[in-house]
Amino acid sequence: MRATACLLALLIACGGTSGSSEPGGTAGPGTGEPAGAGTGAPADGPTAAQAKEFVTRVDGELRQRYTAQSEAEWAKQTNITPETEAAAAKATAEVMTYLTKVMKESRQFDPIMESLDADTKRQIHLLRISGTPAPDDPAQAAELAELTTKMDAA
């Protein structure tokens, strides 16, 4: 639990400067193509604007998941029952599965990493090294989360 709290604090500290306002208000890939011009990426490849939108979206979604996980862990630590252990394991599985998904998605920006601004590059790097990735199989991911939760409760 201490590692989760430290990771949450690190992500908040590192991602706190990227606000939710996006210049141009583009909503999806391909809609902000002119804004990404000059990134050195091919016309059909990722753009710097898409990378910035990606880290902003992931930051918000991770904050929500980490908060839910922390609340479930707190409930488990203060009231160790099979129900609170199951809730904590479920929240942990959701975080690990989401982290695995976005770590893989972040690889789409590899061709333009050197052309990204320092904050976006740093956030993508921190995302890639944060947390424990889950196995691709949902059953195995749930089992891993359950085992780590039980180990912490013992």
Residue (of 22, 31, 30) closest to 55 by Cα position? 22
pLDDT of residue 148: 79
pLDDT in tens, 127-141: 999 877 777 888 888
CA distance 102 to 7: 16
pLDDT in tens, 101-125: 999 999 999 999 999 999 999 999 9
